[in-house]
Amino acid sequence: MPASLPMAAQLRRLFARPLLLLSIVMPAMAGAEPRPDNMVYLRAIDPSIEQDIRYAGAHNFTGHPLDGYAAPECMLSLDTAKALSRVQTALQKQGYGLKVFDCYRPSRAVADMARFATEPGDPRKAEFYPRVDKQDFWHLGYVARVSNHSRGSTVDLTLTGPNALPADTWTPSAAQVDCTAPYGQRWHDGALDMGTGFDCFDERAHTANPTINALAKENRQRLGSAMEKEGFAGYSKEWWHFTYSAEGAPKTVMDFPITPLTSRDVLDSSHQLIVVTTKNWDDIQGSAQRYERDGNSFRKVGDGFAVVVGKNGLAWGKGPGNVEPVAGPVKREGDGKAPAGIFRLGTAFGYDTTAATKLPYLALTPTTECVDDSASRHYNALVDGAATAKDWNSSEHMRSESGYRQGIFIEHNTPASPASGSCIFLHIWRGPTSPTLGCTAMDPADISRLFDWLDPGESPLLVQMPEAQYEQLREAWKLPPR
């Protein structure tokens, strides 16, 4: 190690990995800045937005995880996260989506970037800045001494879509390919061709660069237009960089560490809950109750109502921040169990052309399918079978099930992991003693009340589990009494 390196830099290089592990184990270390109430996890607001948080790992221009990234999570101010979710919704209607690379960035991580730019060594130069000296990062506009990312309203992202090459899994031994190389040759990040890769310190990454191909220009324009419609302003030097510029966007620079998302974090972001409980893991019948936030707690809304769940009961499912917090079965594809845990509520759907609901609404057609083949890239998604290139062998034809006259998509296993369960809805029951294949069903009048009551702006959640597990977790998760 060069003797000329400052002692702090030598210690950081020697102990970066142990310190990172310690920060994961003890995120509330002494002296850590507390997280402001308005800062939320994007996964708790919209888990459908893909995440590849580069600075939590080594696949970035510095070649090491940055200080303050104790978890690969996107955090943003609440208004920024909600605006980004609106962008996602608009893009999904066109067949596209978002993937984020960086969001809130602790100021200690910005200082880490600055240290890297003054120290010897270029471990990832060949990929991220092959034609730039890293000491020129600042005056070329690629690195800021004070970053808007640290204010919680700036996000680095890209555009996904049906023609994107599948994402590769990065390892330190991966070959370094120039980030300006042709789309098929450079790193496959799962996104469409945007002209360069992310964090590419090169003029071709400038948003309006004229030398990129026509398709990349079109993709940049589509992304930029969608972001601008919801109040985001782009940055001329980086096509991936957008700042939420609406009135009320946060101005304060922050330095709290990014720690793993917990179920408590997910609940803290919600103002509407539907709580479903059953007597035990195997019971097919349960009760449901609506709640609305009242300060730091929740109050009941209306009367409780009866539901039925999977023919084989419940099992822990996969939601934002969900783990297997207590003992119990784990949900798998085709197990006939409804998911237990905390889940966001997504698109409403039904037979009618329109519906009186604030939720995004999908009018089902004879060709609407929900794909339950885990080998498909459309696994756990509602698709138009007549307009989508078919890569699945199994699906639900939504108009063939009378219970789907009105329903709401439960965002279980979103984004989808193979074989973890798919096509889970709130919908109309066949009757109070007729279980489902894994959904939660109810009387038509009750699903209609949910249509009328639920508001995506209130970040509604479904909390579903057996009574004993609910009581065991209630205090830790700040759940309301049943």
SS3 240: strand
d(Cα 351, Cα 309) in Å, to the nearest integer?
Answer: 22
SS3 426: strand
SS3 293: strand
Contacts 24+ apart (CB under 8 A), 367-370: 368/397, 368/398, 368/399, 369/395, 369/396, 369/397, 369/398, 370/395, 370/396, 370/398, 370/422, 370/423
SS3 409: strand
- Beta carbons within 10 angstroms of residue 23's beta carbon: 21
In DSSP terms, which residues pair with 77 in a beta bridge?
39
d(Cα 341, Cα 343) in Å, to the nearest integer?
Answer: 7
Task: Name the DSSP class of 479.
Answer: P
What beta strand segments (E) does 361-478 contain? 361-363, 368-371, 382-384, 395-397, 406-410, 425-428, 440-442, 461-466
CA distances (Å), origin 347, targets 213, 277, 362: 35, 23, 7
Q: Are 338 and 424 in contact (CB under 8 A)?
A: yes
**Token code pair at residue 84:** 């980004």
Instruction: Give 16-31 as a DSSP string.
Output: HHHHHHHHHH-TT-TT
Tell me which residues are annotated as active site: 238
d(Cα 361, Cα 347) in Å, to the nearest integer?
Answer: 6
Strand-strand pairing, 461-466 and 338-350: antiparallel
